[in-house]
Amino acid sequence: MKTQKIKATYRNGVIEPLDRIDLPEGQELEVEFSVLQKMPRELSRAEKKELIQRMSGSMKGTWGSTVEEIDAYIKSERQSWDREF
């Protein structure tokens, strides 16, 4: 039995391959899948500025008040998540 590993998405009850699959039309398959963790996307500079304005309450000073300060805070937090204990 030939096996092949591909990435796919699940939408509206259908598994949609993200990679090309070279199979004859109508070929039956046995599918085993793993759910992949979705990576967060990077916010745009405009989205960051909007977020700063919306955080004008108690959280504003926690992370900083400029895009650069918040980016530095996020970077340091991500580094702390990646370290081994």
Q: Using one digit for the tens of pLDDT, what is the confidence trace for 16-38?
A: 998 888 889 999 999 898 888 77
pLDDT level of residue 61 (50, 70, 90 thresholds): low
Alpha-carbon distances, residue 51 vs 12, 33, 34, 68, 69 (angstroms): 32, 36, 34, 13, 13
| Whether the predicted pLDDT of 40 surpasses 70 | yes
Work out the percent of the chain whose per-residue pLDDT is above 70: 82
